[in-house]
Structure 1
Amino acid sequence: MNRQASSPLPDDPSPAEPTTATQPTEAHNLLQHDPEYWLEDGNSTIIAGNVEFRVYKGPLLTNSPVFKDTLSLPQPDGTSGSQCICGTKPAVLHVSDSPEDLRHIFRALLPGKTPRVAPDDLSFGAVSACVRLGHKDEIDEIVQRSLDYLKKSFVESFETWARVDPPRPPAFEANHSIGVVNIARMTSTDVLLPTALMGCCMLNSTELVNGFTREDGTQEKLSAEDIGRCFLGRANLM
């Protein structure tokens, strides 16, 4: 498990348990409250990169065995730290995920400052984050919902594919087919591959080889094997 709880001792880089307090440090002073998920009465503080999220832990404990294990650890007694308005000290958890990815997971699971009456067309960033973090944190319902959304566009049979445009949801770009191939590989959802790989074959060579940059700055690229499949497929199609 790649989640680590914070420690009240600033010189301990890899503590085993979360804590409700952290001594003032230069790094701590650089942390920013997330504008969407900093709830004054929240009972858990989760830190990703330089962003602090204050949220309700109940939905996280219910939906993710990984969060249940880490956020349910007992908190040290006698430590100083900020309190939420309910009077209890929130647990503090450091995670290795990007703030952008974590925000998408919270939007799927938790109430925030902006009510969501009806979901908009999902972006690739939202779907990708929900699948990748949901897969890692064992949030099965989010993973399945995201895969079902992709299956509406990346269909199993070419006979049901509208061939006018590359297959993709309304908010996706053409090069996001690369990410869908990687999602299919990671989750063993082979039904996404025929039209996702077809979408990759329709990219120019530079896009196909270099991939694209996700919203958190990381690079999304096909494996060497899938790049080879796409070049071979394009030659056969020609």
Structure 2
Amino acid sequence: MSAHVSRKRSRAEDDGEGVPPAKRESEHHVKGTAGTGQTQTTASDGGQVFKKDREFWFDDGTVIFVARDTEFRVYKGVLASLSTVFKTLFADRGHTVRNVSIDEEQTILCPIVRLLDSPQDLRHLLRVCFFSKRLESLYEEKEPSYDEISAGIRLGEKYKIAEWYSQSLVYLKSYFPRTMNRWTALESCDGPPGWEFGNGIGVISLARKTEQLSILPAAFLSCMFAESDSPATLGIGHGFTTEDGSRQYLSPGDLTTCFHAKTSIRVAIVTSVFRTFEPEPSTGCKTSSTCKKVLREVLVGLGNNSELLLSCNPFSDYDSYFSGTTLAICRACTTMVKARSLKERQDVWNRLPELLGIDVPGWAEE
């Protein structure tokens, strides 16, 4: 991937022909190698000191990116082949250039491109572009962090890297689905494996940014009901810290939605649970008095244990609400209770946007 450069310097390189003097920089740094893990510095731009990135500083790179206080030296050709935005950016002749070495004898004029992205976000982009064997299967063998998925959606869209954007969005939707069956099939409502409590706040922001509103209900559920050592409302109110050290918070409107909707959803779920265990046996029941008694005892038990009603996943199956491994009723009544449970929970799921006070077109159609 080294740039092809003649050993004999061109006149343009020697004399700066065609390059405004004010846009030339000299290199004042110790030569480094990508992947060494050593942080080195480059003095440029009026004496401002920049750090060489530990992961992306290739000695024969053909472009230098500057993101905040960090410089990345990589290859224009690879990036231009994956992104039309980068291709257009590199075609601009107005960039500052720096005369840099590629070995002990050769130098090239390397454009310096300043980006508004954080160094952390830019690293995620460069890993996808330079280290991924196949862009079509980015997440098949890994469990990406929130920051990786967030960068994939935001920078994938910004730089028109379609595969990165679409796969990041598909991954996000798989853990914040629009159907109850997919939601209840997840191991927890905390989000993808390894994600931290509070990342749902960022998911709400991403859903609004991309106008993928079908993500919103499950993202709100994650914020309201995810397991945490501290009360969920406290975690929501304090936001969470992103990879670059900044903090993200729910907007005042979304925070209000969480507080109000948590109550309205719990009321709807509690109502559905009591309907599920209504002591009315199945029409096919042959032990109606026994089954009616058992169902009534379940309701009494729930009434005496309101904490259980409030602590369960709001869309848990019916057997999460009673003690023991089985419900001691006949087969016909068991089938009836299962059907009731599914219908009642599905009805609440279909009403989620209404309970949240948000608009999600086509929510209950799938």
TM-score past 0.5 threshold = yes
Determine which structure has greater relative contact order: mean sequence separation of CA pairs < 8 Å that are 6+ residues apart, divided by chain length. 1
1:168-221 residue CA offsets vs partner (Å, 9 max, x unmatched): 111211211111111111011122222111101125222212211111112212
How far residue 25 of structure 1 moved from its aligned partner, in angstroms, is: 4.6
1:82-138 residue CA offsets vs partner (Å, 9 max, x unmatched): 2334743221111111101111111111249xxx9x853101111111212222233
Question: Is 1:221 equivalent to 2:249 in the alignment?
Answer: yes
Alignment of 1:60-209 (within 5 A): 60-74=79-93, 81-85=99-103, 87-111=107-131, 119-162=141-184, 165-202=188-225, 204-209=232-237
Distance 1:167 1:210, change over 3 A: closer
Please give the secondary structure, in 1, of the residue aligned with 2:142: coil
Specify which structure has the higher proportion of helix.
2
> Residues 21 and 82 of structure 1 are in contact (CA less than 8 Å); yes or no, is this contact kept in structure 2?
no
Let me know the Cα RMSD of the aligned residues: 2.8
> Residues 20 and 90 of structure 1 are in contact (CA less than 8 Å); yes or no, is this contact kept in structure 2?
no
How far residue 164 of structure 1 moved from its aligned partner, in angstroms, is: 5.6
Specify every segment of 5 or more residues in structure 2 that has no aligned partner in the other structure, as ranges. 1-19, 28-42, 133-137, 227-231, 267-366
C-alpha distance in structure 2 between counterparts of 1:33 and 1:231, whole Å: 45
How far residue 159 of structure 1 moved from its aligned partner, in angstroms, is: 2.3
Q: Percent identity?
A: 31
> Residues 153 and 165 of structure 2 are in contact (CA less than 8 Å); yes or no, is this contact kept in structure 1?
yes
Q: Specify the structure having the higher radius of gyration (Cα).
A: 2
Distance 1:46 1:28, change over 3 A: farther
Identify which of 45, 52, 69 aligns with 1:50: 69
How far residue 76 of structure 1 moved from its aligned partner, in angstroms, is: 7.6
May I ask how many residue pairs the two structures share in their alignment? 218
TM-score (normalised: structure 2): 0.54
C-alpha distance in structure 2 between counterparts of 1:147 and 1:235, whole Å: 30
TM-score (normalised: structure 1): 0.80
> Residues 78 and 129 of structure 2 are in contact (CA less than 8 Å); yes or no, is this contact kept in structure 1?
yes
Distance 1:228 1:21, change over 3 A: same
How far residue 26 of structure 1 moved from its aligned partner, in angstroms, is: 7.5
Alignment of 1:27-42 (within 5 A): 28=47, 30-42=49-61
Specify every segment of 5 or more residues in structure 1 that has no aligned partner in the other structure, as ranges. 1-6, 10-18
Distance 1:187 1:76, change over 3 A: closer
